[in-house]
Structure 1
Amino acid sequence: RALDARAGGFTTKVHLGADGRCRPLSLIITPGQRADCTQFEPVLEKLRVPRIGPGRPRKKPDGLAADKEYSNGPCRDYLRRRGIRHTIPEKTDSQTARLRKGSRGGRPPAFDLERYKNRNTVERAINKLKHARAVATRYDKRGYAYLGTVTAAALVIWLRT
């Protein structure tokens, strides 16, 4: 089920991964109340990074920049297991808890501000998707139909670049 009835009407979330040129690489549609961090692993599992020459697309990106909402232990553990370099800022409550523990709290996670500045490519990819009226207005009643609409808009982005 990809539509959620709320007081303001039906809501839907589009979870996506994008490359450095603001092109969507993987898409998942969920109901509006679903937390973003629950879809972190499925989005990365569907990710396929195209190669310039011949060969299959890569399943592992060179690096990843994400918001604070993905700054939890399971997301960081998943990235560490797959060997993906990441730049995710630490939440202030996590930082306070780590500092309160003292030396038992561990080291702070690495954070590269210059790499984090490129995180807005995902926001720009979403804005490009919303140029398609059907994506922005969400008139589709079924989740699979809306996924098809978003996928068609993503294909148009790929064809234009």
Structure 2
Amino acid sequence: MAAKAYSSKSNRGYLRAHGITAVIPVKNDQKANRRNCGSAGGRPPAFDAEGYKQRNTVERCFNKLKGFRAVATRYDKLDIVYQATIDVASIKIWLRDPVP
């Protein structure tokens, strides 16, 4: 999932080459250019609007995690210790305001 700013042919090609499904809306100027080219403009890239709506949830999760200084600045050197820090921060967030 990404913002419209990352809707370029090279970004989509990179994701496709690595087997990643892109959920990126198309920019208005790209739509207009494709429309002006007619059939030579190619077909529009697939876009899952329902999946894109979940982007807000993911961004809010990262925002809450960055409220913890140890997560935001990554004091820990080892990956496993950093993952444990994220786990503890997630548990604290979950205990503070559980989702029904």
Global fold match (TM > 0.5):
yes
Q: Distance in 1 between matches of 2:42 and 2:74?
A: 42
Higher strand share: 1
- Alignment-derived partner of residue 105 in structure 1: 41
- CA separation of 1:127/1:103 partners in 2, compared to 1, >3 Å: closer, same or farther? same
Do 2:74 and 2:82's aligned partners in 1 also have CA atoms closer than 8 Å? no
Do 1:128 and 1:157's aligned partners in 2 also have CA atoms closer than 8 Å? no
Are 2:92 and 1:156 aligned?
A: no
Give the TM-score normalised by structure 2: 0.68
Do 2:3 and 2:24's aligned partners in 1 also have CA atoms closer than 8 Å? yes
Q: How does 1:7-86 map to 2 (within 5 A)?
A: 65-86=1-22
Q: List 4+ stretches of structure 1 deviating above 3 A.
A: 146-149, 151-157
Unaligned runs of 5+ in 1: 1-64, 136-145
Higher relative contact order (CA 8 A, sep 6+): 1
Do 1:68 and 1:91's aligned partners in 2 also have CA atoms closer than 8 Å? yes
Do 1:129 and 1:153's aligned partners in 2 also have CA atoms closer than 8 Å? no
Quick one: which amino acid aligns to residue 85 of structure 1? T
- CA separation of 1:109/1:126 partners in 2, compared to 1, >3 Å: closer, same or farther? same
Aligned length: 86
For the aligned residue pairs, the C-alpha RMSD in angstroms reads: 2.5
- CA separation of 1:158/1:107 partners in 2, compared to 1, >3 Å: closer, same or farther? same
Q: Which structure's CA Rg is the greater one?
A: 2
Q: Distance in 2 between matches of 1:117 and 1:69?
A: 17
Q: Distance in 1 between matches of 2:62 and 2:82?
A: 10
- Alignment-derived partner of residue 56 in structure 1: none
Q: Distance in 1 between matches of 2:25 and 2:43?
A: 14
Q: Deviations over 1:54-103 (max 9, x none)?
A: xxxxxxxxxxx221111111110011111112211001111111111111
Task: Look up the SS of the partner of 2:22 in the other structure.
Answer: strand
